[in-house]
Structure 1
Amino acid sequence: MNESTAPAVHVIDHPIVRSRLSLLRQESTDSLHFRQALHDIAKLMVYQMTSDLETEVIAIETPLCPTEGHRLKRPLTLVPILRAGVGLMNGIAEILSEAAVGYIGLYRDEETLEPQCYYSKFPPNLAESDVILVDPMLATGNSSAEGASQLKAAGATRIKFAALIAAPEGIETFHRQHPDIPIYTAHIDEGLNENAYIVPGLGDAGDRYFGTV
């Protein structure tokens, strides 16, 4: 696969992102400060994730005279994978306040170990939208890949994937199934341990965000 067609992985490398990510990793960080740090990173990720969105020219009136303005050409849709994806999505939505929100609920089949969808709800204009799939921990990649498959089955064609932390194994699995979807992440960690947790990671993002540790 040549460079022009290789699946894209964008690491959001920024001093504030690195600082907030260290706070998220710290075991002693409480839920309040965990949420704040996660939202901070999410807002900084938005800048790069949306840099190629198309706009169209519109006529506007300033207090002084008519002029040209711009608006996004297509609607936006955010789709977190429940429940951990909600935290990262909330931070993204603070910037993309006009975005519609869909949801995907997945669980792991204990016999096949494959993700199964128990809930999905999408806006009716998904096929016309720029869609951001959100799951903070790209570990094995199975759930995230299934989430992307659910979106495509519902008609989405312009999809990006946002993950707080990614493991190389998860990136490989995700892009093996969805080479057309770019990944945006704050950091690529070392890999997975024997329990399929990202190392060094930050623990269970959902439990820490919602205070259910």
Structure 2
Amino acid sequence: MQYSKFVKPAFDDFILPTKKYADIIIPRGGDNHVAIDLIVQHISTKLGQHNLCKIYPNLYVIQSTFQIRGMHTLIRDAKTTKHDFIFYSDRLIRLVVEHGLGHLPFKEKQVNTPTGSVYTGVEFCKRLCGISIIRSGESMENALRACCKGIKIGKILIHREGDNGQQLIYHNLPKNVADRNVLLLDPILATGNSAVQAISLLLQKGVQESNIIFLNLISAPQGVHVVCKRFPRIKIVTSEIDFGLNEDFHVIPGMGEFGDRYFGTDDN
């Protein structure tokens, strides 16, 4: 009687309408352990990313949304098919490329619109190229070409020798690379060893450190530390900092054979 006369009407009048202001609603409340764990992981990831971004102002992590978090969940799920793994990886890579392009230098430009008015906008630099670290970086080339029609793309191949060394065995860079802004492509930043060698080569060829934007799908904290400390003026753009990389930093949990087959992951 008390529930029907007081509790339920009060809930309908004062509690239920506030649902429209909620960012997240968890069905079944404290009994929904899956939803709670997901939120805890999301918050932990955000806190970790925030701390690294505070340490390194040249590190840019795409703002995490449930859509981005959902796609990362799918590419790690052991049940995900190869087709879906590639589809969602490509979607995330496209977001990384788009975000990276936003860090290119630009200048103000005015144009006349079809209605005869003047629009004040910006014009991005025209001297741009992509450099992929073979073979994993090649998985990002289609997204770059889709965003920058006709862009020149070079290659760097670094071979791992033993447990300690890297050997640069091939490079084919665009002409006048020293005068260009460079988008360096590698989906996985793990130890940072290959990245350091690739960036060092670009600097030897005359590319300005501040003109390099390093695009990653997933970055490990160790790789971020290594690259940012060694090259404080380059920019790193990634969709997620993964604190779950295993001890030798070669394997992304959940990637398995699909990740190796698509990204060609080794010691990057």
How many residues get paired?
A: 207
**Residues 34/100 of structure 1: CA separation in 2 closer, same or farther (3 Å cut):** same
Contact 1:11 1:184 in 2 (8 A): yes
Pair 139,5 (structure 1): closer, same or farther in 2 beyond 3 Å: closer
**What does 1:18-167 correspond to in 2, within 5 Å?**
18-56=69-107, 71-110=123-162, 113-157=164-208, 158-167=211-220
- Mark the CA change 1:5 to 1:156 in structure 2 (over 3 Å): closer, same or farther: farther
The CA deviation string for residues 169-203 of structure 1, in whole angstroms up to 9 with x for no partner, is 11111123212112111111115424432453624
Query: TM-score of the superposition, structure 1-length normalised?
Result: 0.82
Tell me, yes or no, if structure 1 residue 193 matches structure 2 residue 246: yes
Superposed CA RMSD:
2.7
Aligned residue for 1:170? 223
Instruction: Give the fraction of aligned pairs with identical amino acids, expressed as a percent.
Output: 29
Matched-pair contact (CA < 8 Å) for 1:189–1:198: no
Q: Deviations over 1:94-147 (max 9, x none)?
A: 21224210111011111x622111111111121221111111111111011111
Is the partner of 1:187 in helix, strand or coil? coil
Structure with higher helix content: 2
* Counterpart in the other structure of 2:31: none
Shift of 1:7: 4.8
Q: Match for 1:180 among 233, 242, 245?
A: 233
TM-score (normalizing by structure 2): 0.67
Task: Give CA deviations for 1:52-80 in whole Å, capped at 9, x if unaligned.
Answer: 32334668676665967754223211111
Residue identity matched to 1:8: N
Structure with the higher strand share, 1 or 2:
1
Aligned 8 A contact 1:7 1:180 in 2: no
Contact persistence 1:104–1:121 (CA under 8 A): yes
> Whose Rg is larger?
2
CA distance in 2, matches of 1:5, 1:124: 35
Match of 2:60 in 1: 10
Distance in 2 (CA, whole Å) between partners of 1:24 and 1:5 is 28
The 1:208/1:28 distance shift into structure 2, 3 A limit, reads farther
When residues 62 and 194 of structure 1 are mapped into structure 2, their CA distance, relative to the original with a 3 A threshold, is closer
Structure-1 separation of matches of 2:150 and 2:206: 21
2:60 alignment partner, SS class:
strand
